[in-house]
Structure 1
Amino acid sequence: MKGIPQSLTWKIVPVADQAVLIDFGEYIDPQINKHVTDLAILINQQPLAGINKAVPTYRSLLVNYDSLRIRQQAVVVYLQELLTQPRRKSPPFRAWRIPVCYGGSYGIDLDTLAGLHQLAPQEVIERHIKSLYRVYMIGFMPGFTYLGGLDETLHTPRRESPRLKVPAGSISIGGMQTAVGSVEAPSGWHLIGKTPFRSFTPEREPAVLLQSGDAVSFYPVNSEEYQSLAAQGDYVPKWSWQDAEI
């Protein structure tokens, strides 16, 4: 992973006539991501008239606005003012506890991934559950959750041949990240487990539960426990408010 720059820099880039992008550079880093998500929360909670929504990614923020209500230059001036203000204390975030059934038919790549790192499968599980992960962004597919904070000993290049179908709820590793899948989708990530939780359910309000800036920890369950939780239908794991830095 590249180190973060000595001072945080950014540029504001127009995106057609309905949005601007605040770009913080090429770094994927928790401190930069925290700055992005904190700014998104501030804009979404107290939007300037005409601004619709701020959507965070790893290291950039897309700010959508109504060009019939506000000029782009006014949006840029507003954002520049926010960016140059002293940084506020980060708001509390949600910390989720997500159950995972590891290995076997639930995580068909666990043994192979363990072999690549000269670890026993149980060691992979133990290293995977010990971290508190940060939700960097939601994307690729509805509810697909990219998590930062994976133990460096588990960093693994993606598969050379992606699978066309990966089951909903798959817990996977790709590069220096781990992820929570929500819907069936193609993927080149390594499948190590599965959760009965679905972050995205279109009939639910809100449809997507995990959000950028949230925290996630995993705990192992066996097949019987997995099936029992899955039988609840729209199973939602426990979460709590926290204000410690992640």
Structure 2
Amino acid sequence: MAYNLSYKRFGERAILIEWPAIIDKNILKDIIHFKDQIYKKKIKQIVELKLAYNSLLIIYDSICRNFENEVKLLKKLYESLDLRHDIVSKLWKIPVCYDAVFGIDLEAISMEKELSIDEIIKRHSQSTYTVYFIGFLPGFLYLGGLNKSLFVPRKATPRLKVEQGSVAIGGNQTGVYPNESPGGWNIIGNSPVSFFDVSKKTPCFSKPGDQIIFYPITLKDHENIKILVDTGVYQMESEVIDA
């Protein structure tokens, strides 16, 4: 399916391409295919491509003086997309401890939603999430696929410090804080897994188009996995999928 895209200037050295403003897997696939098509062309002037839920930002190495010509080129590339091949992605299995010591907002969510804490954990861990893009912080995965019954508004007053690995819900999204930072999402657990490691060739293990499954672990499991992560020997479970 071809979408009616809009092309806009984004500062002096970038062009923003926008799809319909919804969170949708088909739109994500379309964006990834377009991004891959641009990479294949090896356009020297392009230095970076950044995608989000419904957009692709193209950053050039110098001032984009002929916007119209660049847009014509991009439109031709989009028209030539081959959508027949699948996007090879991975399904990652992420351990999460939902114990009250970590899930500091679980009780408040339970009262607001009139759901037991066990039911919240069950619904959160039974969904398969799609990685739409990475942003806010290096390694922060924006995930779609949260059960609608768990949609909770972000906090009116963000916390000044959210612990690394905190698993949280913000509106219709869920995600994991890759390092300690301020944050306004509702915290329901913690994962001992490292989501961003600058010492590795690929600092963030996941990419847009991948899928995530969370599975519950105990406090003791969390402690043991954290030791393996800190010593660099932990192997995350994953499998190749066709997205």
- TM superposition shift of 1:236: 4.9
| Pair 44,193 (structure 1): closer, same or farther in 2 beyond 3 Å | farther
Alpha-carbon distance in structure 1 between the residues aligned to 2:69 and 2:86:
26
1:79 is matched with: 74
Q: Structure 1 residue 74: deviation in Å?
A: 4.6
Is 1:62 matched up with 2:50? no
2:241 corresponds to:
242
Deviations 1:54-100 (A, max 9, x none): 11111100112223899655532332112223551331111111000
Alpha-carbon distance in 2 for matches of 1:219, 1:149 = 15
Write the letter of the residue equivalent to 2:97: C
Distance 1:151 1:166 in 2: 23
Q: 1:195 aligns with which of 188, 191, 195?
A: 191
8 A contact 1:169–1:181 mirrored in 2: yes
CA distance in 1, matches of 2:41, 2:237: 28
Contact 1:103–1:109 (Cα < 8 Å) also in 2:
no
Does structure 1 residue 105 correspond to structure 2 residue 101? yes
Does structure 2 conserve the Cα–Cα contact (< 8 Å) formed by 1:53 and 1:65? yes
Runs of 4+ residues deviating >6 angstroms: none
Q: Aligned residue for 1:146?
A: 142
1:12 matches 2:11: no
Name the structure 1 match of 2:208.
212
Q: Residues 123 and 45 (structure 1 numbering): CA distance in 2 closer, same or farther, change over 3 Å?
A: farther
Q: What is the CA–CA distance in structure 1 between the aligned matches of 2:121 and 2:179, rounded to whole Å?
A: 23
Write the letter of the residue equivalent to 1:110. L
Distance 2:23 2:62 in 1: 31
What code does the residue aligned with 2:208 have? S
User: Per-residue deviation at 1:139?
Assistant: 0.8
| Pair 1:86–1:50, CA change in 2 (3 A) | closer
Give yes or no for the alignment of 1:42 onto 2:37: yes
Pair 202,61 (structure 1): closer, same or farther in 2 beyond 3 Å = same
1:160 and 2:159 correspond: no
Name the SS of the counterpart of 1:231 in structure 2.
helix
- Letter matched to residue 11 of structure 1: S
Q: Distance in 1 between matches of 2:196 and 2:43?
A: 29
> Which letter maps to 1:35?
D
Shift of 1:29: 2.4
Corresponding letter in the other structure for 1:75 = E
Deviation of 1:23 (Å): 1.2
Question: How many residues get paired?
Answer: 239
Compute the displacement of 1:38 (Å).
Answer: 2.7
In 1, the alpha carbon distance for the partners of 2:133 and 2:181 equals 17
Matched, 1:24 2:24: no
Alignment of 1:161-176 (within 5 A): 161-176=157-172
> Which residue matches 1:3?
none
SS at match of 1:228: helix
Give the 3-state SS of the residue equivalent to 2:30 in structure 1. helix
Q: CA deviation at 1:13?
A: 1.0
CA distance in 2, matches of 1:138, 1:69: 26
AA paired with 1:55?
K
